[in-house]
Structure 1
């Protein structure tokens, strides 16, 4: 069972999410909150795996809420559920620790897919959001100063597809520990802090396409 919390200041949208997710057997909504403050006050008592977080909220926004939540529970996974906003918000949300982005207009299937992929240790980006971020990033394309090895490129491409460490291990017939070593080397060479940033970097540098 995947325990979910919802944080959004639009009541009708929250209620809609609760209704949609209540129809999915393996998902359990354990709480929904109308503000970042109310969520943070209840966080320590909540048994949750993933929080669906709006970015633009009255009071404490989703970026600040995510930062504070991750400081309390570092393993908490965050999926931003949002409309299109300024590009800077996306990168700030990634830097705060978000594992994925889903547009509010997305259907039930995409939302459930995002929850499963993030819960399994991957990342999920709505294609429209990924294209928007990648298009903006291309103009500031980075030089590949630290060239990746052939194996690192293979691992990177599978990371960009949202595969977990276990799935990459099985696909490439290497141990999970070896996958983690490659992942660490790729992050070091690319000078990225997390996997979400790495996906954008890989697109900018033509290691993968969207």
Structure 2
């Protein structure tokens, strides 16, 4: 891609007014052309304009599969599209997870429009430096996920211990590890973060 190329962008966000506003802002820039937008990835990827898309701006909280799953799938089926996550969440764990899944960049919705345009252009050119080194292990272990799912069902530590046949102290250690890995401080925050990351339903 040369400096004179126009980047063809698709927007995926479930807030129609936000999509229209962002499309207008980006469309006013000579280096950007918004070719389609929709509430779900399928709305734009199944459209006639999908073949022209260079960059997909993707919100995190959408109906359907979690963003991590969508990104990983697109990296396999449409490796020609650079995915830029555009979200209201300032979440370091979410950022690392989605970049590891294959997103080219992770941008918050408080970012000035000029910077967003620059990052879209960089992503389209394959020059984004946002991607971390992929981890060799899953974020949460199978046992930590088991414990977290029981936490989601409002089980106490004693009930979790009885269900899994482990000591209460072991349950506490698993919950501590979940909090540490998700960078949260409460059970509610852990559940919210895990759902956002697509770790649990």
TM-align CA RMSD: 2.4
1:7 and 2:37 matched: no
Q: Does 1:197 align with 2:132?
A: yes
Normalised to the residue count of structure 1, the TM-score between the two structures is 0.55
1:58 aligns with 2:69: no
Gaps of 5+ in 2: 1-5, 135-201
1:47 Cα offset (Å): 1.0
- As a proportion of its length, which structure holds more helix? 1
Q: Which whole-Å CA distance do the structure 2 matches of 1:99 and 1:27 have between them?
A: 17
1:99 to 2:34 alignment: no
Find the aligned partners of 2:62 and 2:88 in 1 and give their Cα distance.
12
* Residue pair 1:35, 1:60 contacting (<8 A) in 2 also: no
Residue 60 of structure 1: CA displacement? 2.6
1:114 to 2:49 alignment: no
Three-state SS of the structure 1 residue aligned to 2:103 is coil
Task: Give the paired residue count.
Answer: 130
Q: Deviations over 1:155-193 (max 9, x none)?
A: xxxxxxx4xxxxxxxxxxxxxxxxxxxxxxxxxxxxxxx
What is the aligned counterpart of 1:35 among 40, 56, 60? 40
* Alignment TM-score, normalising by the size of structure 2: 0.58
Please state how far the C-alpha of 1:103 moved relative to its aligned partner: 0.9
Q: Bigger radius of gyration, 1 or 2?
A: 2
Q: Deviations over 1:36-89 (max 9, x none)?
A: 332343389431111111112122332222222222111211111111254432
Hey, which bits of structure 1, 4+ residues long, moved more than 6 A? Answer: none
Deviation digits for residues 180-209 of structure 1, max 9, x if unmatched?
A: xxxxxxxxxxxxxxx61149xxxxxxxxxx
